[in-house]
Amino acid sequence: MRIFLFFLLFCQTAFAALSPIQQSIREWKELLSSEELGHLPSGEMIEEILRKDDGFEIKTTNYLIDVELEYQDTDILGPIPFNLRFKDLP
């Protein structure tokens, strides 16, 4: 019985430790596959993407685009649902 309890506690701790990494991967994937980035003017190249506390900052050849990351309320463990809001799109 003690082994089962130890295993149960260990699995919960390991799952919680992976959650921020999984969340970050989901956020980056969503940003890079977003439809909004596909609508940049022709010839506009992304030079840099910075992660900020409230989202991302995308630097292109001629523009600086702020992307706000809005987390949704949830009661579950694991990745948190979110929305990306693009500001100042050209």
Q: From the centroid of its chain, how far is CA 80?
A: 9
> Quick one: average pLDDT of 55-76?
93
SS3 call for 51? strand
pLDDT of residue 1: 59
> Quick one: average pLDDT of 17-41?
87
CA distance 76 to 62: 41
Phi, psi angles (nearest 5°) of residue 32: -70, -25
- Per the structure, the count of domains in the chain is 1
Alpha-helical (H) ranges within 1-90 are 2-32, 35-38
Phi, psi angles (nearest 5°) of residue 88: 60, 40
pLDDT of residue 42: 86
- Domain hosting residue 68, numbered range: 2-87
Task: Give the pLDDT confidence of 38-62 residue by residue, as tens digits.
Answer: 888 888 999 999 999 999 999 999 9
